[in-house]
Structure 1
Amino acid sequence: MTLDLLREYIVFAKHLNFSRAAAELSMTQSTLSKHVAALEKELGFLVVERGRELRFTAQGKAFLESAQKVVHLYDDELAALQAQFASNAEPVLLYESLSRWTEFLDSLDDVPFSFAEMKSGESIIEGVTKGRMDVGFGHDLSIDADPQASAEERGIDIVPITAMPMGLLLSRDNELARLETLGRDDLRSRTFAVLDGSFFDENSAFIPALFGRDLDLRFSITPISGSLANVDYLQLGDEILLYDRETLRALCERRQDLTMFETLDGIPIEVPIALYCRRDDPNPNVSRFVERARAFFKKAE
């Protein structure tokens, strides 16, 4: 006797009608009738009296009570076991940039996590692929077909989460810095700075997909050790840097030779952000973390 058969009997008992019960169970009436008959044969007694209307036998009523106890006990024990495994699972290793999501992280009272530093010269996808982190964080590369296909080949899921306010940073010597407002067409044939060579392929695919491939954008590696940790040494020249708005505002307060545009054609610059995780990650807390993030940022919209 299987749990599936017990569950079918409970649904049948709810309707006491083969047709309606079969519809709820997504099976044919004849199949359900055969299953109930097989159940009666295994039990050694009838559970219903068949006639113009179906009626429970005394044995059928008693067995219904027992069937519900068995199914409820199984479901409760399974849920408790899954919760135990989840609580004993390893903490989720997060890309260090996720530390900025303090409000979300503070809400994770039952998902343990810690932070993993990026290895020099390694992209987010590489870090996740090699298991140096469980959950990465960065631009949503699924907006471009090639990076999306590359991630799928590596068994990496790209999970869109939210949009991040961004800015375009320029040197005050850049001719574009003289403009009162910046338009999309002003970016045509311009060169964007990439602060870390390991992100060159991703940025050179993502930014054209974001602003439009017709702009014929160029890209140049402008190495800054620790990304913006050493911004005092950042020299942009005629290049443009796309980065998160909060960081660039703080940078412009420190550096009078730099300026930032927060809008393009009068529209605030935002980029889609995604989480990256291995599709076959054995740690159940990883999927729980991702689902919590989805729910948190959906609610915040």
Structure 2
Amino acid sequence: MNTRYLKEFLVIAEELNFSAAAKRLYTTRPTLSEHLAELEDELGCKLVERGHGKPALTPLGRRFLGTASDLLGQWDEVVGEYRDLSDNLLTVTVSATNLPWLEAPLLRARHRIVEKWPEGKIDIVTDSGPLATVDALGERKNDIVVVGCKSFSEAGHRLLTKEHPGFVLNAETTHLFMTEDNPLLGRDTIRAADLDGAVLLLPPDVHQSYERDGVADRFAANGARITLKTMPFRDHAEYFAHDFGCAIGVAPDTLVPRFGLDRRPGLRLFDLDDMDFSTDFIAVFRDEFVESPHGRVLFDEMKAAVAQGEPAA
């Protein structure tokens, strides 16, 4: 429905004279009549009787007076809201894969910003799928990604200093896991050398970082030749539901309770006795996002929330 036609109807109803109404609206009488006819056609009823005498509102026309006024009032509120949002809305796009590590600082930062900036609004949009690599920043698919960097590698930290703004979110253990078809399932303790010849099956978003951090070389130094492999899993849920057979999977500590891996029958989580497998999770931001005024505010508040160890609001 054209809001201009509603405004014109209200003036016609007030004047009950097409020439006077046209003059007030800075239009012509034929144009006004045409617009009224279109409005009546859309509603499927007659609003104004236009005979040889003075125009008059029909019973439905009198009823529509209140409806038209309400609709215009609601529309004015919508216009006002979106005009304000044009300067105060920040949309943040993150991968659903990355969300576990970003939730607490992102939600806390949003809460702090809204406290300081009541008219502001921050929309957090999550994309499903493995869009959690730095490539997603360059392709403008995400505004923030979380990059995992193994404790024995400095590659992720060099990425921050040389290419993108960001900060370390937290460090946590990355567990390995196997399913019931693996011959090592019943072994009391497992060392790196016990995985000699094994396939380490990885989600697509971490495969690149495992190659970058030299995980295979680290295993080799501890007596195991392993193969790093990935498949086009859509998300973590599909990855953890896969039939691993004799392959070994990886599960950061944050995802263990999220996907119930510690309670799943036929699945064993384990850590190597002789090889540290902890991971630093680093939030990396798209340059243009941080350079925008609102994006910079969010970046600073998230960094402060992480530094102070604040929980989500």
The TM-score normalised by the length of structure 2 is 0.54
Which runs of no fewer than 5 residues in structure 1 stay unpaired?
Answer: 1-83
Deviation sequence 1:122-161 (CA, Å, 0-9, x none): 55212111112111113137975667777888x4345322
One of 122, 135, 142 as aligned partner of 2:144 = 135
Aligned-residue CA RMSD (Å): 3.9
Which runs of no fewer than 5 residues in structure 2 stay unpaired?
Answer: 1-83, 115-121
Partner residue in 2 for 1:173: 181
Partner residue in 2 for 1:104: 105
Alpha carbons 2:200, 2:226 under 8 Å: kept: yes
Matched, 1:294 2:290: no
Matched, 1:214 2:221: yes
Q: Structure 1 vs Structure 2: percent identity of aligned residues? A: 13
Which letter maps to 1:104? P
The alpha-carbon deviation at position 219 of structure 1 amounts to 0.9
Distance 1:128 1:231 in 2: 26
Structure 1 residues 284 and 213: CA distance shift in structure 2, 3 A: farther
Moved more, 127-136 or 237-246: 237-246
The alpha-carbon deviation at position 247 of structure 1 amounts to 3.1
Structure 1 residues 121 and 228: CA distance shift in structure 2, 3 A: closer
Structure 1 residues 167 and 145: CA distance shift in structure 2, 3 A: closer
The alpha-carbon deviation at position 245 of structure 1 amounts to 2.8
Which letter maps to 2:140? G
Distance 1:286 1:143 in 2: 32
Moved more, 141-150 or 205-214: 141-150
The alpha-carbon deviation at position 113 of structure 1 amounts to 4.1
Deviation sequence 1:83-130 (CA, Å, 0-9, x none): x99x73633323334543544334222162412305x56552121111
The alpha-carbon deviation at position 300 of structure 1 amounts to 2.8
Which letter maps to 2:92? V
Distance 1:189 1:276 in 2: 34
Which letter maps to 1:200? H
Which letter maps to 2:96? E
Structure 1 residues 146 and 236: CA distance shift in structure 2, 3 A: same
Distance 2:220 2:199 in 1: 13
The alpha-carbon deviation at position 163 of structure 1 amounts to 0.9
* Structure 2 counterpart SS, 1:170: strand
Distance 1:290 1:270 in 2: 25
Distance 2:295 2:216 in 1: 29
The TM-score normalised by the length of structure 1 is 0.56
One of 185, 200, 204 as aligned partner of 1:192 = 200
One of 228, 236, 247 as aligned partner of 1:227 = 236
Alignment of 1:138-149 (within 5 A): 138-140=147-149, 144=153
The structure with more helix, counted as a fraction of residues: 1
Which letter maps to 2:209? E
The alpha-carbon deviation at position 273 of structure 1 amounts to 0.2
Which letter maps to 2:95? Y
One of 275, 283, 290 as aligned partner of 1:275 = 283
* Structure 2 counterpart SS, 1:156: coil
Structure 1 residues 221 and 143: CA distance shift in structure 2, 3 A: same
Aligned residues between the structures: 212
Partner residue in 2 for 1:93: 93
Q: Which has the larger radius of gyration?
A: 2
Partner residue in 2 for 1:205: 212
Partner residue in 1 for 2:126: 116
Alpha carbons 1:170, 1:241 under 8 Å: kept: yes
Alpha carbons 1:135, 1:286 under 8 Å: kept: no
Alpha carbons 2:145, 2:283 under 8 Å: kept: yes
Distance 1:117 1:236 in 2: 26
Which letter maps to 2:233? I
Structure 1 residues 269 and 220: CA distance shift in structure 2, 3 A: closer
Which letter maps to 2:234? S
The alpha-carbon deviation at position 213 of structure 1 amounts to 5.7
Runs of 4+ in structure 1 over 6 Å off = 145-153
One of 239, 243, 249 as aligned partner of 1:241 = 249
Partner residue in 2 for 1:126: 135
The alpha-carbon deviation at position 299 of structure 1 amounts to 2.7
